[in-house]
Structure 1
């Protein structure tokens, strides 16, 4: 049958009693009819003994008979090779999605949050949809040097983009990492150590906000007492404390350095944990909205912004304060390294120890201040 536009429009499977109507004008061109009433053009032929067919399009979606005949002849001339949809070039957005699937679960909450922030604020606007193969080292260098951020933040953003390029190399999208071996900014190591007066002021401010934010208030107090990272404080569980043995456990899954720690439970800290309200059967500091989840970092951070001595003060500075006070009190550096959970001795010595001459009793003063601020004067644990 020689197909015409009128036949194509009127053709139904019920009317013709068959599912396919071949076109005599272009051998191999077929109008296929469905029971549902839909129809489409296909081209079919036997090539080297193999029967092949290619879908051309549908008259229901605007394909004319003339278009179908033209396409059919082109496909026949091409040997009815299957059309491979061209793949979009790989981008850093693809690598970020891959990072979320394969890499993010291996890292802690804070690391994941920071990486996503660097991606959204710095990396995605500059390179997100660019073809990975077209991004070279000068591009990355120029981006890095012109970041509107502090030297520390710029270095962290660079580390994040370098990891994404590393994934791209592993996936064989590119042959080299354009961000590798790039000179970073020299950072000034933080040396902030809180004075006893500052600690007292922070404790007073925490007390003033406790009625409205009891869980965040006590999480901050805990950070003042011990050398754990705030992420470890967030996730503390009642099961980690063995009051009979006088120890508390920090499993590797909670540690940035992925090493398990069993630490002595000081009388101050033991009394603090015992005397806190039991807001949850699982977490010492649960989410105010869901007691079966730990308190979110943002909840603690928001309170910290209200009670900190100044805008340059960080919660993490309490770790440095405790370490420095311990050194001044006579603890050796190896012991302090273990207390902080550092793998690298240089990290402890360079970034965390800033003793003041003549302050041998500073550790006792610090503990006395914390105890008085939490339990009240004359009521230390």
Structure 2
């Protein structure tokens, strides 16, 4: 945000609710005021020095008035231009400075699912104002202990893993000389989930989905019928779907493992997609705005749970349910992995590199068999009538 700063405006700035914020001065380029969660206001200069982006502390407000801050900033800019600026006067990077850099330069280019990393790092918001070189092992342990005490076992592990990756990245870049948490172990013992929905629970969830409006009803049903990841189903584009051939191709740019994935669509899945409305000028299949894919998975799951009475499960458990039921139907493990688009497992290593067979027909047979089972349990009367005909 950029404003022509005045004393009245600065005095009205409230403390940051969770994460500190900045307001840039519209008079002197690069000058900004940073407001912390405690309400403290500090002047900074955002500038490039010797091809490196810097944030240099100018002073604190109101000790340094607006006029004083502008005068001092102009002099600092003059020294930078003349090459006489003393770099020792620059402020040290805080954790709050490093987090957005880490997300932009490391997390986003390497992981399409970078948003959870960004969210989990906010668990360390109390350390954001601290120079990253001053953060000690005990500071991180204290935050992790608080997460454990609040009941976040696996969540504490995720938070620690994210901050460890950030510190390792800083060490590689020379931002820090030593990594204080390099050998810090995960605090909670995790048990792999083995939740598989029963036929009755699948029926209950399917019926609950029918109580939802577009796009949540078909979205939930397509997750059940395809066994694909919720984010990949939510982001489905019409340009990815060939309803004539009954094929949905998830491009590598959207697949979690960055590998193009062909998903054969069972007849029931095709019928559902054929019945859906289309937003003019939008390529999204499941959307409420036409501009972005459907979201609000947590709220949807809560509604399904309440309506169905089936609890202690997650949307991701549906993938495990599909895989387990396919195995019970006699589908071979490598075909199940192909359906789920798993890189590791039965076909891995050198075999995965050289085995380019997509198992399209086998995947279709497996998904059709699974869809027929779903249709049988959710509409046994209609299925029996179809068989009799």
* TM-score, length of structure 1 as denominator length: 0.65
Q: Post-superposition shift, 1:141?
A: 3.6
2:164 aligns with 162
Counterpart contact for 2:120–2:162, Cα < 8 Å: yes
**CA–CA distance in structure 1, aligned partners of residues 370 and 170 of structure 2:** 53
Q: Post-superposition shift, 1:276?
A: 2.5
What is the count of residue pairs matched by the alignment? 282
Look up the SS of the partner of 1:114 in the other structure.
Answer: helix
2:236 aligns with 236
**Aligned pair 1:204/2:207, yes or no?**
yes
Look up the SS of the partner of 2:192 in the other structure.
Answer: coil
Q: Post-superposition shift, 1:372?
A: 6.5
Over 3 Å counting, the alpha-carbon distance change for 1:374 and 1:269 in structure 2 is farther
Counterpart contact for 2:334–2:346, Cα < 8 Å: no
> Whose Rg is larger?
1
1:369 aligns with 374
Counterpart contact for 2:225–2:371, Cα < 8 Å: no
**CA–CA distance in structure 2, aligned partners of residues 268 and 232 of structure 1:** 19
Mean Cα deviation higher: 253-262 or 243-252: 243-252
Once the two structures are superposed, the pairs formed by residues 1-381 of structure 1 within 5 Å of their partners are 82-84=85-87, 86-106=89-109, 111-120=113-122, 122-125=123-126, 127-147=127-147, 148-184=150-186, 185-208=188-211, 210=212, 213-279=213-279, 281-286=282-287, 288=288, 290-296=289-295, 298=296, 300-308=297-305, 309-345=309-345, 367-370=372-375, 373=378, 377-378=382-383
Structure 2 stretches of 5 or more lacking a match? Answer: 1-66, 69-82, 349-365
Q: Post-superposition shift, 1:260?
A: 0.9
Look up the SS of the partner of 1:217 in the other structure.
Answer: helix
**CA–CA distance in structure 2, aligned partners of residues 278 and 374 of structure 1:** 27
1:5 aligns with none
Counterpart contact for 1:92–1:164, Cα < 8 Å: no
**CA–CA distance in structure 2, aligned partners of residues 375 and 98 of structure 1:** 55
Q: Post-superposition shift, 1:324?
A: 0.4
Counterpart contact for 2:252–2:261, Cα < 8 Å: yes
Look up the SS of the partner of 1:214 in the other structure.
Answer: coil
Counterpart contact for 1:196–1:365, Cα < 8 Å: no
**CA–CA distance in structure 2, aligned partners of residues 291 and 375 of structure 1:** 36
**CA–CA distance in structure 2, aligned partners of residues 170 and 129 of structure 1:** 22
Deviations 1:18-72 (A, max 9, x none): xxxxxxxxxxxxxxxxxxxxxxxxxxxxxxxxxxxxxxxxxxx69xxxxxxxxxx
* TM-score, length of structure 2 as denominator length: 0.64
**CA–CA distance in structure 2, aligned partners of residues 346 and 155 of structure 1:** 28
Structure 1 stretches of 5 or more lacking a match? Answer: 1-60, 63-79, 349-360
Counterpart contact for 2:210–2:217, Cα < 8 Å: yes
**CA–CA distance in structure 2, aligned partners of residues 132 and 346 of structure 1:** 43
Over 3 Å counting, the alpha-carbon distance change for 1:373 and 1:141 in structure 2 is same
Q: Cα RMSD over matched residues?
A: 3.3
Over 3 Å counting, the alpha-carbon distance change for 1:84 and 1:133 in structure 2 is closer
Deviations 1:68-100 (A, max 9, x none): xxxxxxxxxxxx965556121222211111023
